[in-house]
Amino acid sequence: MEQVIENLPGLREGAASASGAQAVERALQLLSIVGRGAEKGVALAEVVADSGLNKPTARRLLMALMRSRLVEQDELTRRYYLGGELYVLGMLASRRHGLLEMAGESLKRLSARSADTSFVSMRREDYAVCLHREEGTHPVRTHALLTGDQNPLGVGAGSLAMLAALPDAEVDGILGRIEGVIAAQYPGYSTDIIRDDVARTREVGYALNPGRVIANSWGIGMAILLPDGRLAGALSIAAIDSRMGEARQKELAAQLGQEVERVQGKLKALFGSENPALRKAPQASRSGMPERV
């Protein structure tokens, strides 16, 4: 059990007033309470009342879960929500109901029809992580993105498609946080370039990476949305630059659109509009991008 504590950053503080096993059990109890809050979140007072813990202990364990990115706190309302790390872990662990499972057949169709490499990606905080790469049959392939690779949101086609699907305020926050990483590690990019790319993506309905990561490796991507309009991930196709002319971009965009609709149909069947938490969330516009309010 000591190893479990060691592997969850911050839980050692929560174990200061209890045994290791008890600290983990209490932390998981709080995680379940926060999860029941769904879209509304939960206040610290609610956590204390539901858990039976005193306020300092509940706060200490919540802080440990936040450091592990399993819980997050809204800066304005101070309410607690499930963190993005849980979404990532769930996606990576669940092949039956995860995005990777739902997109698997679509990736095979995309690579079979285009002969190029296709990808499914998802958001992880300010980054995009590639969940799977499906090889095409064209003899000249691009190796710009491998399964497990992460890039800041906006870098690469699928990553850009996801960034463009987020509300303006969230885009601004992400770009502010990743500006240093972009300047240090991605010479083909700047936050101004990414802003222009976001605007273009929203205008034409798909994201294009014109070889900014690797010069001769181009990509085209499209966001996948949940039934309530929130971001689920992205599908993308990469090819060498000679195979990404303007006419073919439109052809590939049409193929991506068909497969995105298929994946979104599976997500709708899984989650359904009867979910009250989904019913209250902002809906996507007809263009596939969130409505700006």
Residue 8 pLDDT level (bands cut at 50, 70, 90) = low
DSSP codes, the chain: -HHHHHHSTTHHHHGGGS-HHHHHHHHHHHHHHHHHTGGG-B-HHHHHHHH---HHHHHHHHHHHHHTTSEEE-TTT--EEE-HHHHHHHHHH-SSSSHHHHHHHHHHHHHHHHSSEEEEEEEETTEEEEEEEE--S-SS---S--TT-EEETTSSHHHHHHHHTS-HHHHHHHHHHHHHHHHHH-TT--HHHHHHHHHHHHHHSSEEE-SSSSTTEEEEEEEEE-TTS-EEEEEEEEEEGGG--HHHHHHHHHHHHHHHHHHHHHHHHHH-TT-HHHHTSPPBPTTSSBPP-
Q: Out of 52-56, 197-201, 281-285, which region has the weakest mean confidence (pLDDT)?
A: 281-285
Tens digits of residue pLDDT in 136-195: 777 666 667 788 788 999 999 999 999 999 999 999 999 999 999 999 999 989 999 999
Start-to-end C-alpha separation, the chain:
48
Residue 98 pLDDT level (bands cut at 50, 70, 90) = confident
pLDDT value of position 139: 64
Answer whether residue 76 shows pLDDT above 70: yes
pLDDT value of position 289: 41
More confident residue, 198 or 24: 198
Residues 192/195/197/198 CA torsion (nearest 10 deg): 170
Question: If you average pLDDT over residues 277-286, what whole number do you get?
Answer: 36
| pTM for this entry | 0.63
Question: If you average pLDDT over residues 99-122, what whole number do you get?
Answer: 89
